[in-house]
Structure 1
Amino acid sequence: MTLLNMNGYTDLPDTKVAVVTTYLEMTAAPEGLEAPHQSPEGVSLERFQGADADRFLRLFRKVGEEWLWFSRLLMTREELAAALSNPSSEICIVRKDGADAGLLELDFADPENVELVYFGLIREATGHGLGRWLMQEALWRAWSRPQTKRFFVHTCTGDSPVALGFYQANGFRPYKRAVEVIDDPRLSGHLPETAAPHVPVLGRSAG
């Protein structure tokens, strides 16, 4: 029997983590959407060209470690290089006061259905309105292409608790939920055990 047909609790092995993923979409550009205004003082958005995988991974960890971002950490170097240089992807790095401070990635592989793949700021850059500015950049980059008919994203219970409300406030509409079960990336060493403290680590070896 699948989870879809079950009520109640389902035990998981200690080496697994389960999150509830919410899928969101918008099927038209938000009313009044305009090109982003000048970036905040000391802030810029730099197109990432895919040559420096180490730089990308450092920022990926800094933005996402607290929220159990792991997918790019599981890739081989060859797989990561291919993902970062994929011509259908648009990867941008937020620069604040000369340092990498955030990540925006869009996937245009299907020109009519554009995915917001990664969106996040380092903790030190939050709380200053940069998230709203970065979302305006994402919305404009997606909807300024005439082929776009749908813009979608997903977030989960491993992510920041404000993420779901933020996406909804910016025009995304939830349309589906799913339960994702994964090997705990902290037990494999891809993330430190201190990552995502709101998701307890259960599978530590004895001693």
Structure 2
Amino acid sequence: METQIFDLNGYTDLPSGKVASIVTYLDMHARPLLRSEDRPDLRLERIEKPDLVEYRKLFRRIGEDWLWFGRLVMDDAELSRLFAEPARELYFPMSGRNALGVLELNFADPKNVELAYFGLVPEAIGGGAGKWLMKKALDIVWSRPETERLWLHTCTADSQQALGFYRSVGFKPYKRAIEIADDPRLKGLLPEASAPHLPLIGEDPEA
């Protein structure tokens, strides 16, 4: 197998069928003081055993524009094992009987909690639901006496507002990385028209 050399200065060509993004890691070490978001139309529901078909539909609705693929590459057995982990908690913000997003928290290291996934469906963005959901997430995490740190990561494939939003609620950047992955659109995991800010280049190497 040919070794791909990554140049940390200047430009490095990507192989056909790959996508790359700059990942920013952020964290907080104390509970921030946030104004309570009054949303009587919403409630947060803990999901103990999600219906995988419905979960994937929701995941795609939330992340299609931002090339979310982390859960789509898992088969049913992998995804079921993931959500069966005792330290992993999945929540849906609900409006009536409709799920409007996902909140996934990983307490595997109870001192350093990971906000693994946080997002809303497109029609729920812009009306304050995001701040409401983040307040709920912070309430859950910082109510645990073991918590010393909450961290997450976002990337340049995500919404341009994501990084600013996380900083506005108290997260601070502390590290960057480069993520290179197979383009999920070429694998049929997401429509080819998704994430238009990341042009589709190359062919599926397994085709």
Give yes or no for TM over 0.5: yes
**Counterpart of 1:11 in 2: which secondary structure?**
coil
Residue 187 of structure 1 aligns with which residue? 186
Q: Which amino acid is the alignment partner of residue 16 of structure 1?
A: K
Query: Match of 2:43?
Result: 44
Q: Deviations over 1:139-192 (max 9, x none)?
A: 111111000011000000010110000000111010000011001010011111
Number of aligned residue pairs: give it.
Answer: 201
Q: What's the counterpart of residue 28 of structure 1?
A: 30
Q: SS at 2:137's partner residue? A: helix
Distance 1:119 1:7, change over 3 A: same
State the Cα deviation string for residues 90-140 of structure 1 (Å, max 9, x = none). 110111243111110100011000000000001100110010110101111
Distance 2:164 2:90 in 1: 24
What is the rounded CA distance, in whole Å, between the counterparts of 2:203 and 2:42 in structure 1? 41
Query: Partners in 2 of 1:189 and 1:33 — Cα distance?
Result: 41
Structure 2: which 5+ runs fail to align?
none
Paired position in structure 1 for 2:150? 151
Percentage identity across paired residues of the two chains: 51
- Secondary structure at 1:136 match in 2: helix
Match of 1:18 in 2: 20
TM-score by length of 2: 0.91
**2:81 — aligned with what?**
82
The alignment partner of 2:150 has SS state of: strand
- Separation of aligned partners in 2, 1:150 and 1:2: 35
Asked if residue 105 in structure 1 is aligned to residue 104 in structure 2, the reply is yes
Please report the TM-score for the alignment, with normalisation by the length of structure 1: 0.91
How far off its partner does 1:204 sit?
A: 4.1
Q: Which moved more, 1:167-176 or 1:95-104?
A: 95-104
Task: List structure 1 segments (4+ residues) > 2 angstroms apart after TM superposition.
Answer: none
CA distance in 1, matches of 2:124, 2:82: 26
Is 2:25–2:152's contact at 8 Å kept on the other side of the alignment? yes
Contact 1:33 1:140 in 2 (8 A): no
Q: CA deviation at 1:85?
A: 2.1
For 2:88 and 2:108, the matched residues in 1 are separated by 7
Ranges in structure 1 where 5+ consecutive residues have no aligned partner: none
Q: Is the 8 A contact 2:34 2:169 kept in 1?
A: no
**Residue 190 of structure 1 aligns to a residue in which SS?**
coil
AA matched with 2:21 = V
